[in-house]
């Protein structure tokens, strides 16, 4: 067992995340052990600032659990993940590991948590934390260890637990900052910056256009959370960025100009928040008479005008809107890529630096510090001091994959309602203090966060739309069906259908194809390999929107059920499927197969996969479709003929009915409807498998009929 | 083209069904051609008795179509079946072939048909009949022909059309009998028996016990309808049978004793019919003053007392009940097997006989004749004169298969509401006049039918329950799943599960096994191969009833959807699956797995296939199940873990949920629930396929977990 550290003084080593590689397994094991205990001791040292046990049970932020939860939570997290990964077969305290498992995700500002908990005493939790220490210590001592440490190893789970505690070191410090002053005491380890005074006048500095690469490489040498990995290249236009973070003094102008009273400066979401909270100034400001003060973590001081203002995104955005109006220019927050351009000005990163290039990693202060203290190439506080809100809602990079032991770390935030902040704060340590670290919170959330503003030439905000996880079960079932892996050795159905189509079209010109009932679009992309132009048409907007997204962004994300309510997270990447060079030939349009616009005509091929038994009037469709084909064009239908009254009233079924008392199949119906205008060239079976859960599938056998138009 | 016959005189050759075998294809072709034309001409000759075209459009029986329909129907039938079988690619008259396709199935006595038809003229139909004659004639002349004629040949379809017309020869004669006398004329071909007078006194004669074989052999030498084929051996107890069919005179005693006014003589169905129709005597009797008359097909005569009475089953049954009361003995109608014992007294059959051994095959009269005219070994009218109602609801014999071009010939009548009659009437010809011929009508239906009665020692009627076609889609899906063919090369699931179970049980005693959630019972039967005793328990009566039926009757029938509303007819025969020697070891019981009676205990194996995710309280089940096993007994669970709130409220799901924010699988839940009392020996996947339609299947992969009870 490593030494159980106590700290009298902060030391940057304590806060640096370990390298995943190294030459000596024994040394790495020791390093991990130290990092584990240091983190745990540091976390406990934060809670030493609370001077009364009763304060652990208060809820200074009614939207969150009391601090006792967070005190237990980071310890129980280790045990819960080790059990989940089958690395531990025995729990330490089943009750605690349940009670301390789930934090309150603050969904909205009025989403109050009314659950009642029968919390244990602080001493009981301390005892539990010690038990966990022993347990994890033994795990570290005895675990198999290979270098470099990989994501599927036990050591990674240990690092996950440690970095998780480092996150809560920061978030708990925010909650402590919300306790009343009589519940906290000064502490030798947590020393505020003592310097404050008037702020420097901010100014906008030019930043050259630049190509940036976002995303942490898979083979990076430090631990990362799922959302950091991947690769995204972005071209960033020239812009101007403020030299300093916005200071309290600069923000005070907005407050005093009535910024909190004028809805017009606020986004719609901001207005709602403002009206609900009746906020009049930043969360940690206090006004007594004409005098402003600021609450820091453990003390209240006169408003430090040259420190960065700490606000949520909504307030930052309102400030920018006010500033835009004032200056007549386009002022806003930076996008993630713009922040990254500035970050490139710094040529080092934790854990490699000797000294943090900002008020970061607990290397300088236990509070913010003046905005003109840490300079890099003309800009100040590129990292550190306070986190910097961006315009960018968080999303995974292309290639995003969840870690299977923590599949809800990021995914719930990929919802367009969580904005990224970057750069870290004075108390961001470990992974949080690395350049790839990216955290996102709801836009009304308070952390140690402020902002820098930028000015651009256009009102457009260079932010991609979010790849929301499609959770509609039917839609994601079809995304999986079209773009996911195959099962039972049955080939991908849209691809198999297109392959089959092509065997009939050998000498037919391939100018224009129509994929009617294209659903989420796979056959359309596949047809684009061979045709000059492909139209994909579907009746359902919620299906076809994924065709659009894929063409535009190259990527869609979806969850698929595995068992019960559990889901797996999936991504479809069009490039990986080889459609990058052909996707521009596809046009997706929402439309009704039974009532297509006249413009949709002149096709050499019309392919209808699993469509005919989903139309409200299949006969009407068949009567009108020949005119949309070229002479000698092909109509190719493929369907399992699953007629359901839900889609097609029975009187309109093409077949699968008794006609004059006799069995009349869909093939009979197709022949009757098409034989005047077409020759039936072939009739074959094409199997398909649609995944419903991990253990349940629809396995069908479609009949493909091939009709050549008579000239 | 053969000669188009006209008849001046009946000739028994005309009415004999052709042999399927022979030495000369050319002669057989000629024979079929003659038989076709003779049948058609005979049918037309029947309609020649109608003396006004307008009479074709009347509806003397409001529950049936007018005669114009039947005039066209037998012709259009040929075309419809030839088209259905892909033997003809062009229709003669699409309108007629639709209009004349479907007769009215008289569902109940008050189920009036109000459809309006725009019938063609009689001459138009005559013209159509001639076109069909030419067409079929050409088919016969040019069709491939191999002897013997098999069911899958075109010649069989031709025979089907001819025999179908022969059926309607009889049923149309009944409708003509219902026309008013001024619409019909005498006809040289249709000469009534002129002899009638007082009836002989009926008496009961003993019939020795006997073993009879029911069913026409598959290799029989004449055409047969689907329901005639198969094989059923029945042991018939000694009984007494009336020497004569019941005569008008004998029935008159019942009428005059007030039989139609005393509900007590009638079955419940009979009472309902009686009250609705207000019948006071048999359908073709007329009473004027004190005098009774009888309507024959073309004339009215004084009630012929020695002719057989013509009644429906309900009236015949009421007569028997009255007679029972009168005599204090058990009088009823014969069962099919009892009739067959009598039929064995005749040693010949059509077409082999020189002369019909009864008033049958149009060889004697165009009407009934006295009941004491045709004698065989002491009994009269064993065949012929009028059909004889039996107590037996029609059912297929074991091995029953529909002919695929006429799959609704018999199956709709296998509903327990259609009783068989046997023996044929004076106008039964062709197939109808053979010994295996068996027709069934609803019990209130009138044909040329009467009855013979029998006396037995017991009130029990020796009639098997009907193998109703299970049409409940879910139940028949499971019958198919357990007993039907396999798909996608995936082994039968219950059998595969039992096979897997046995690999773990090698040295375990095999006294008692429990198949919990046995559904329709396949695993129970399979377990009975190895265990001394097997209990099959299921919560659902509608599933487990098929286990019961299979154990008792060895056979269940069901329909499965093919496409749309179309179905295929299926039979499961336990003997063919090899369970005949072990089925006695199985006991099926309806029960609740979460609340089993204490008696269900002491098992060496409890197997639960696809059960755990269908229980309302799976944890309760798991907690109580160990006590039902012997020491070292095995609990083997197999399931795809498809949790649905429809079956199990979410708070009771074993897994597939988040527990303390972490993924918690069903396997996790099983381990948690069972680990105290069991060792987990193995965990494996077993695939299964459940057919939904011809082209749609559920393909699942169940997880089997093997738990050995700790001693």
Q: Tokens 């099983």 appear where?
A: B670
Which pLDDT does position B407 carry in this prediction? 83
B489 CB within 8 Å of a chain A CB: no
Distance from CA of A610 to the nearest CA of B (A): 12
A353 CB within 8 Å of a chain B CB: no
* C-alpha to C-alpha distances, B121 to A549, B76, B96, nearest whole angstrom: 65, 15, 12
Measured between beta carbons, the chain A residues lying within 8 angstroms of B640 are 693, 695-696
Q: Rounded to the nearest 5°, which phi and psi values hold at B15?
A: -105, 5
pLDDT exceeds cutoff 90 at B387: yes
Nearest to A564 among B408, B562, B653 (CB): B653
Give the whole-angstrom CA distance, residue A390 versus residue A512: 44
Nearest to A656 among B564, B650, B658 (CB): B564
Find, in chain B, the residue whose alpha carbon is nearest to that of A652. Answer: B564
Q: Which of A471, A376, A464, A383 is nearest to A426 (CA)?
A: A383
Q: What is the pTM of this model?
A: 0.76
Q: Which of A412, A695, A697 to mutate to test the interface with B (most CBs of B within 10 A)?
A: A695
Q: How many CB atoms lie within 10 A of CB A120?
A: 19
Give the whole-angstrom CA distance, residue A573 versus residue B645: 34
Measured between beta carbons, the chain A residues lying within 8 angstroms of B650 are 565
B488 CB within 8 Å of a chain A CB: yes
Mark yes or no for CB contact A657/B564 under 8 Å.
Answer: yes
* C-alpha to C-alpha distances, A504 to A24, A410, A494, A582, A612, nearest whole angstrom: 63, 47, 16, 22, 20
Which pLDDT does position B1 carry in this prediction? 46
Which pLDDT does position B506 carry in this prediction? 87
* B285 or A413, higher pLDDT: B285
A566 CB within 8 Å of a chain B CB: yes
Give the whole-angstrom CA distance, residue A182 versus residue A180: 6
Measured between beta carbons, the chain B residues lying within 8 angstroms of A69 are none
Task: Say if residue A113 is exposed, middle or buried (CB neighbours under 10 Å; 0-12, 13-18, 19+).
Answer: middle
**Is-contact B509 B634, C-beta < 8 A?**
no
Q: Which of B667, B705, B668, B655 is nearest to B685 (CA)?
A: B705
Mark yes or no for CB contact B699/A703 under 8 Å.
Answer: no
Angle at which helices B25-47 and B154-178 pack, to 10 degrees? 20
Q: Cis bond leading into A351, ω under 30°?
A: yes
pLDDT of B676-698, one tens digit each? 899 999 999 999 999 999 999 99
Measured between beta carbons, the chain B residues lying within 8 angstroms of A101 are 660-662
Distance from CA of B505 to the nearest CA of A (A): 26
Q: Where are the beta strands (DSSP E) in B400-471?
A: 418-422, 439-442, 449-450, 454-456, 469-470
ipTM: 0.75
B203 CB within 8 Å of a chain A CB: no
Give the whole-angstrom CA distance, residue A315 versus residue A390: 12
Q: Which of B663, B698, B701 to mutate to test the interface with A (most CBs of A within 10 A)?
A: B663
**Is-contact A682 A500, C-beta < 8 A?**
no
Measured between beta carbons, the chain B residues lying within 8 angstroms of A657 are 564-566
> What residues pair up with A610 in beta bridges, in sequence order?
none
pLDDT exceeds cutoff 90 at B24: yes
Nearest to A488 among B488, B653, B657 (CB): B488
Give the whole-angstrom CA distance, residue A263 versus residue A379: 32
B102 CB within 8 Å of a chain A CB: yes
Which pLDDT does position B209 carry in this prediction? 94
Q: Which of B173, B555, B241, B268 is nearest to B396 (CA)?
A: B555
pLDDT of B271-330, one tens digit each? 999 999 999 999 999 999 999 999 999 999 999 999 999 999 999 999 999 999 999 999
- Start-to-end CA span in chain B (Å): 86
Report chain B's mean pLDDT, rounded to a whole number.
93
Give the whole-angstrom CA distance, residue A214 versus residue A395: 12
Summarize the confidence of residues A134-149 as an average pLDDT.
96
Which pLDDT does position B672 carry in this prediction? 92
Query: What does DSSP say about strands B291-295 and B285-288: parallel, antiparallel, or unpaired?
Result: antiparallel
Mark yes or no for CB contact A564/B101 under 8 Å.
Answer: no
Summarize the confidence of residues A660-674 as an average pLDDT.
92
pLDDT of B599-614, one tens digit each? 999 999 999 999 999 9
Per-residue confidence at A114, pLDDT binned at 50, 70, 90?
A: low
Q: Give percent of chain B with pLDDT exceeding 90.
A: 82
Mark yes or no for CB contact B697/A696 under 8 Å.
Answer: no
Give the whole-angstrom CA distance, residue B577 versus residue B574: 5
The encoded tokens of residue B622 equal 């798991």
* C-alpha to C-alpha distances, A521 to A504, A550, A583, nearest whole angstrom: 22, 9, 11
Q: Which helix (H) or strand (E) holds B699?
A: strand B696-709
The three-state secondary structure class of A336 is helix
pLDDT exceeds cutoff 60 at B106: no
**Is-contact A218 A229, C-beta < 8 A?**
yes
Summarize the confidence of residues B101-113 as an average pLDDT.
61
The string over A12-21, giving b where at least 16 C-beta atoms fall within 10 Å of a residue's C-beta and e elsewhere, is: bebbbbbbbe
Q: Please tell me which of A549-563, B89-103, B435-449, B456-470 the model is most confident about, judged by mean pLDDT.
A: B435-449
pLDDT exceeds cutoff 50 at B634: yes
Q: Which of B73, B76, B82, B564 to mutate to test the interface with A (most CBs of A within 10 A)?
A: B564
Nearest to B84 among A662, A666, A698 (CB): A662
Give the whole-angstrom CA distance, residue B567 versus residue B171: 28
A642 CB within 8 Å of a chain B CB: yes
B36 CB within 8 Å of a chain A CB: no
B109 CB within 8 Å of a chain A CB: no
The encoded tokens of residue B262 equal 């005393």
A609 CB within 8 Å of a chain B CB: no
Summarize the confidence of residues A625-648 as an average pLDDT.
95
Which pLDDT does position B466 carry in this prediction? 73
Angle at which helices B313-327 and B268-277 pack, to 10 degrees? 120
CA B709 to chain centre: 49
pLDDT of B230-274, one tens digit each? 999 999 999 999 999 999 999 999 999 999 999 999 999 999 999
Summarize the confidence of residues B95-106 as an average pLDDT.
78
Q: Which of A481, A514, A468 is nearest to A637 (CA)?
A: A514
Distance from CA of A279 to the nearest CA of B (A): 33
Find, in chain B, the residue whose alpha carbon is nearest to that of A644. Answer: B564
Give the whole-angstrom CA distance, residue A430 versus residue B63: 89
Q: How many CB atoms lie within 10 A of CB B415?
A: 16
Q: Cis bond leading into A148, ω under 30°?
A: yes
B640 CB within 8 Å of a chain A CB: yes
Mark yes or no for CB contact A563/B656 under 8 Å.
Answer: yes
pLDDT exceeds cutoff 80 at A632: yes
Q: Which helix (H) or strand (E) holds B286?
A: strand B285-288
Mark yes or no for CB contact B666/A80 under 8 Å.
Answer: no
Cβ neighbours for A355, distance < 8 A, ≥ 6 positions apart: A12, A363
Q: Cis bond leading into A469, ω under 30°?
A: no
**Is-contact A668 B89, C-beta < 8 A?**
no
pLDDT of B172-226, one tens digit each? 999 999 999 999 999 989 999 999 999 999 999 999 999 999 999 999 999 999 9
Which pLDDT does position B99 carry in this prediction? 87
> What residues pair up with A302 in beta bridges, in sequence order?
A293
* C-alpha to C-alpha distances, B557 to A73, B117, B475, B573, nearest whole angstrom: 61, 37, 11, 9
- Total CB pairs under 8 A between chain A and B: 125
Mark yes or no for CB contact B699/A407 under 8 Å.
Answer: no
A565 CB within 8 Å of a chain B CB: yes
Measured between beta carbons, the chain B residues lying within 8 angstroms of A486 are none
Measured between beta carbons, the chain A residues lying within 8 angstroms of B75 are none
Give the whole-angstrom CA distance, residue B470 versus residue B482: 14
pLDDT exceeds cutoff 80 at B474: yes
Which pLDDT does position B116 carry in this prediction? 64
A666 CB within 8 Å of a chain B CB: yes
Distance from CA of B78 to the nearest CA of A (A): 12
Measured between beta carbons, the chain B residues lying within 8 angstroms of A698 are 696-699
The encoded tokens of residue A332 equal 């806003």
**Is-contact A609 A481, C-beta < 8 A?**
no
Nearest to A656 among B98, B566, B643 (CB): B566
Summarize the confidence of residues B38-43 as an average pLDDT.
95
Which pLDDT does position B5 carry in this prediction? 57
Mark yes or no for CB contact A564/B98 under 8 Å.
Answer: no
Mark yes or no for CB contact A97/B655 under 8 Å.
Answer: no
Mark yes or no for CB contact B661/A696 under 8 Å.
Answer: no
Q: Which of B8, B16, B146, B70 is nearest to B434 (CA)?
A: B16
Distance from CA of B427 to the nearest CA of A (A): 27
pLDDT of A440-492, one tens digit each? 999 999 999 999 999 999 888 888 877 777 778 889 999 999 999 999 999 99
pLDDT exceeds cutoff 80 at A673: yes
Distance from CA of B230 to the nearest CA of A (A): 25
Nearest to B643 among A564, A659, A666 (CB): A564
Q: Give percent of chain B with pLDDT exceeding 70.
A: 96
Mark yes or no for CB contact A97/B660 under 8 Å.
Answer: yes
Q: Which of B344, B370, B376 is nearest to B245 (CA)?
A: B370
Give the whole-angstrom CA distance, residue B635 versus residue B607: 6
pLDDT of A522-557, one tens digit each? 999 999 999 999 999 999 888 998 998 899 888 888
Mark yes or no for CB contact B641/A697 under 8 Å.
Answer: no
The encoded tokens of residue A265 equal 């400066």
B98 CB within 8 Å of a chain A CB: yes
Measured between beta carbons, the chain A residues lying within 8 angstroms of B662 are 80-81, 84, 101
The encoded tokens of residue A102 equal 């789930």
Which pLDDT does position B465 carry in this prediction? 74
* Least confident window among A5-14, A145-154, A365-374: A5-14
Measured between beta carbons, the chain A residues lying within 8 angstroms of B559 are none
The three-state secondary structure class of A284 is coil
Give the whole-angstrom CA distance, residue A449 versus residue A424: 8
Mark yes or no for CB contact A642/B666 under 8 Å.
Answer: no
Give the whole-angstrom CA distance, residue B364 versus residue B144: 37
CA B220 to chain centre: 20
**Is-contact B550 B527, C-beta < 8 A?**
no
Which pLDDT does position B472 carry in this prediction? 83
Q: Which of B403, B394, B555 is nearest to B470 (CA)?
A: B555
Which pLDDT does position A648 carry in this prediction? 94
pLDDT exceeds cutoff 90 at A253: yes
């Amino acid at each position: 067992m490593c030494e159980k550290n106590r700290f009298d003084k902060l030391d940057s080593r304590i806060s640096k995340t370990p390298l995943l590689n190294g030459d000596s397994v024994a040394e790495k094991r020791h390093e991990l052990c130290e990092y584990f205990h240091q983190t745990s001791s540091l976390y406990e040292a934060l809670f030493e600032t609370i001077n009364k046990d009763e304060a652990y049970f208060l809820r200074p932020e009614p939207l969150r659990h009391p601090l006792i939860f967070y005190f237990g939570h980071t310890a129980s997290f280790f045990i819960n993940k080790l059990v989940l990964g089958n690395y531990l077969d025995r729990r330490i305290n089943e009750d605690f590991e349940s009670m301390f498992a789930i934090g309150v995700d603050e969904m909205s500002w009025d989403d109050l948590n009314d659950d009642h908990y029968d919390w244990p005493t602080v001493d009981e939790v301390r005892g539990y934390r010690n038990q966990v220490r022993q347990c994890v210590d033994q795990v570290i001592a005895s675990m198999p260890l290979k270098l470099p440490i990989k994501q599927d190893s036990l050591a990674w789970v240990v690092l996950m637990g440690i970095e998780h505690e480092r996150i809560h070191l920061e978030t708990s410090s925010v909650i402590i900052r919300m306790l009343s002053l009589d519940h906290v005491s000064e502490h030798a380890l947590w020393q505020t910056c003592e310097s404050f005074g008037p702020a420097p006048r901010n100014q906008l500095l030019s930043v050259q256009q630049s190509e940036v690469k976002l995303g942490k490489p898979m083979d990076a040498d430090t631990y990362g959370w799922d959302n950091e990995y991947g690769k995204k290249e972005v071209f960033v236009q020239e812009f101007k960025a403020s030299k300093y973070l916005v200071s309290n003094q600069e923000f005070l102008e907005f407050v005093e100009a009535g910024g909190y009273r004028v809805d017009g400066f606020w986004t719609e979401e901001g207005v709602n928040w403002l009206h609900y909270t009746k906020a009049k100034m930043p969360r940690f400001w206090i006004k007594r008479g004409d005098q402003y003060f600021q609450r820091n973590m453990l003390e209240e001081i006169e408003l430090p005008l040259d420190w960065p203002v700490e606000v949520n995104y909504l307030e930052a955005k309102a400030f920018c809107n006010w500033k835009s109006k004032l200056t007549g220019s386009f002022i806003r927050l930076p996008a993630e890529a713009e922040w990254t351009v500035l970050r490139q000005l710094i040529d080092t990163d934790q854990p490699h630096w000797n000294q943090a290039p900002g008020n970061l990693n607990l290397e300088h202060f236990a509070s913010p510090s003046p905005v003109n203290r840490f300079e890099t190439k003309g800009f100040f506080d590129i990292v550190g001091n306070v986190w910097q809100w961006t315009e960018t809602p968080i999303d995974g990079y292309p290639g995003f994959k969840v870690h299977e032991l923590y599949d809800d770390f990021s995914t719930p935030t990929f919802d367009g309602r969580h904005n990224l902040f970057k750069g870290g704060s004075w108390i961001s340590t470990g992974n949080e203090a690395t350049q790839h670290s990216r955290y996102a919170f709801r836009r009304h959330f308070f952390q140690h966060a402020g902002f820098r503003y930028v000015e651009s030439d256009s009102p457009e905000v260079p932010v991609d739309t979010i790849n929301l996880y499609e959770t509609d079960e039917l839609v994601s079932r079809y995304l999986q069906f079209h773009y996911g892996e195959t099962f039972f050795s049955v080939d991908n159905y849209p691809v198999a259908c297109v392959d089959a189509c092509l065997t009939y079209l050998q000498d037919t010109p391939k100018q224009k194809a129509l994929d009617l009932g294209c659903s989420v679009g796979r056959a359309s992309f596949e047809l684009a390999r061979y045709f000059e132009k492909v139209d994909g048409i579907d009746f359902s907007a919620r299906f076809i929107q994924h065709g659009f997204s894929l063409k535009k962004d190259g990527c869609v994300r979806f969850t698929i059920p595995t068992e019960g309510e559990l889901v797996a997270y999936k991504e479809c990447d069009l490039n990986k499927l080889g459609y990058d060079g052909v996707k521009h030939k596809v046009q997706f349009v929402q439309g009704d197969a039974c009532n297509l616009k006249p413009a949709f005509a002149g096709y050499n091929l019309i392919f209808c996969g699993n469509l005919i038994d989903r139309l409200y009037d299949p006969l009407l469709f068949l009567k009108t479709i020949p005119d949309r084909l070229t002479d000698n064009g092909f109509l190719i239908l493929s369907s399992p003929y699953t007629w359901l009254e839900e889609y097609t009233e029975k009187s309109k079924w093409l077949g699968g009915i008794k006609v004059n008392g006799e069995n009349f199949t869909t093939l009979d119906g197709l022949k009757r409807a098409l034989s005047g205008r077409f020759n039936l060239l072939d009739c074959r079976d094409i199997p398909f498998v649609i995944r419903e859960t991990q253990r349940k599938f629809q396995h069908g056998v479609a009949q493909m009929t091939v009709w050549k138009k008579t000239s």
